[in-house]
């Protein structure tokens, strides 16, 4: 792997690990210091590897640099302790423990950090945004896209969240058994958003970012490996990720263009991941809990059956109906309308789609473009052109343009 590919890949897989361990090491009151040292580690990698070459073990190199930078920080803090924040005095007067970047401590730190930033002392959106920033390596633009917001709002939200965690002296540890259920929902939402950004990215000029999907799955497995967080909802989310991940090899052509579900080569689907998803979906059925992840995972399971049948789409439609009752979202409403068109036809689905009124959403106009085909192709063309203007990535634009090119105009 070339440097221009390796460093972004390592940033996605290792930045969160280094940040979590550093933050646990320093304490959450020094959360920005942990981020700074992790960022400086990757900056040094970019500068050094460009002229010295990639080391034999790049990950180990990053860990050594992070450890050295932590030691250097303590040395400077000890030397200049009278000039820096008073709360550092206690820390620097005590013996400095070696930064532990073992696999076990990384896993523990990531899980503890996830729950620390998803603490109810800060608002839910700030919890998720901070987790995406620190533990998932999201940029401010990516977080803004996830929340349909802007960079300025996100920066202010994250600043206030860090300050609140600092002033409340939130410990980086697993919460007590009674606290876990109220904090687990924000953790699952974070992992769900992380996976979605990888599966259908809107923030970079690529439609699939597999490294984000892999990271979301890895973090979800940390929850499953802990008895306190191995719940039906976590199993359902894991099933959902597995079912979707099974189609990743078939979602892009050799030029990186998106291949739509109906055009995918089923032989490229990963059957092992489908089986794994079925295992987790069965595990999720234990108990009386029904979450959005249960319903979405079951919908995703039906999509592992490529053939269009009345039974398939009727079941998907009923699942979307239940999902919207449980937790409404515009994306689910759009998908439900598509399922309705499969069951009752485009003419029946059109009024339901237009009621949604999502005029600024490219998927809304793409759906209307599909539904109007054969009914009013001029209207279909207008909606597809609107979708083309609103779409954010080049692969997405190519897909819409192909629909426009193949639309007969009479």
- pLDDT mean values, one per 10 residues, the chain (410 residues): 77 87 87 89 92 92 92 70 52 57 89 88 87 81 81 93 91 88 88 84 63 86 92 97 94 80 92 97 92 97 94 98 95 95 96 94 94 94 95 85 86
330 Cβ contact partners less than 8 Å away, ≥ 6 residues apart: 356, 358, 361
Nearest to 35 by CA among 120, 184, 139: 139
**Cross-strand bridge partners of residue 258:** 252
Structure tokens at 23: 């933050």
Whether 203 contacts 145, CB under 8 Å:
yes
- The residues spanned by each domain of the chain are 1-101, 103-209, 329-410
Tokens 């995972």 map to which residue? Answer: 297
Q: 377-390 and 394-405 are packed helices; what angle lies between their axes, rounded to 10 degrees?
A: 170
Report the C-alpha gap between 187 and 194 in whole angstroms. Answer: 11
Report the C-alpha gap between 35 and 146 in whole angstroms. Answer: 21
Nearest to 75 by CA among 61, 59, 91: 91
Taking the CA atoms of 291, 292, 293 and 294 in sequence, report the sign of the dihedral they define. Answer: positive
CATH code for residues 329-410: 1.25.40.10
Question: Could you report how far apart the first and last alpha carbons of the chain are, in Å?
Answer: 51
44 Cβ contact partners less than 8 Å away, ≥ 6 residues apart: 65
Nearest to 364 by CA among 374, 354, 372: 354
């Amino acid at each position: 792997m070339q440097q221009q590919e390796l460093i972004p890949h390592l940033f996605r897989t290792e930045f969160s690990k280094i940040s979590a361990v550093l933050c646990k090491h320093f304490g959450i009151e020094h959360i920005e210091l942990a981020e700074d040292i992790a960022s400086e580690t990757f900056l040094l990698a970019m500068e050094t590897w460009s002229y010295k070459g990639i080391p034999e073990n790049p990950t180990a190199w990053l860990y050594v640099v992070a450890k050295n930078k932590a030691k250097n920080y303590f040395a400077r803090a000890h030397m200049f302790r009278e000039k820096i924040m008073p709360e550092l005095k206690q820390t620097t007067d005590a013996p400095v423990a070696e930064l532990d970047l073992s696999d076990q401590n990384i896993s523990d730190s990531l899980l503890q950090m996830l729950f620390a930033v998803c603490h109810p002392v800060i608002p839910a959106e700030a919890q998720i945004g901070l987790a995406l920033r620190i533990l998932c390596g999201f940029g401010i633009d990516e977080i803004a896209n996830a929340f349909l917001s802007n960079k300025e709002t996100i920066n202010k939200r994250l600043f206030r969240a860090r300050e609140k965690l600092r002033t409340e002296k939130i410990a980086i540890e697993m919460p007590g058994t009674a606290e876990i259920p109220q904090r687990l929902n924000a953790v699952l939402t974070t992992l769900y958003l992380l996976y979605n950004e990888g599966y259908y990215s809107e923030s970079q000029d690529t439609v699939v970012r597999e490294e984000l999907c892999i990271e979301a799955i890895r973090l979800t497995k940390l929850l499953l490996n802990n008895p306190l967080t191995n719940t039906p909802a976590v199993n359902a989310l894991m099933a959902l990720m597995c079912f979707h991940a099974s189609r990743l090899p078939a979602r892009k052509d050799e030029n990186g263009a998106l291949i739509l579900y109906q055009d995918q080569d089923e032989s490229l689907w990963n059957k092992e991941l489908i089986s794994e998803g079925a295992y987790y979906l069965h595990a999720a059925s234990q108990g009386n809990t029904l979450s959005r992840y249960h319903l979405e995972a079951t919908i995703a399971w039906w999509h592992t059956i490529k053939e269009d049948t009345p039974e398939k789409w009727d079941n998907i439609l009923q699942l979307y109906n239940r999902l919207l009752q449980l937790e409404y979202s515009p994306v689910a409403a759009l998908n439900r309308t598509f399922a309705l068109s499969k069951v009752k036809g485009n003419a029946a689905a059109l009024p339901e789609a237009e009621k949604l009124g999502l005029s600024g959403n490219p998927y809304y106009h793409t759906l209307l473009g599909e539904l109007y085909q054969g009914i009013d192709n001029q209207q279909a063309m207008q909606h597809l052109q609107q979708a083309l203007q609103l779409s954010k990535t080049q692969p997405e634009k190519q897909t819409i343009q192909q629909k426009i090119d193949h639309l007969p105009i009479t």
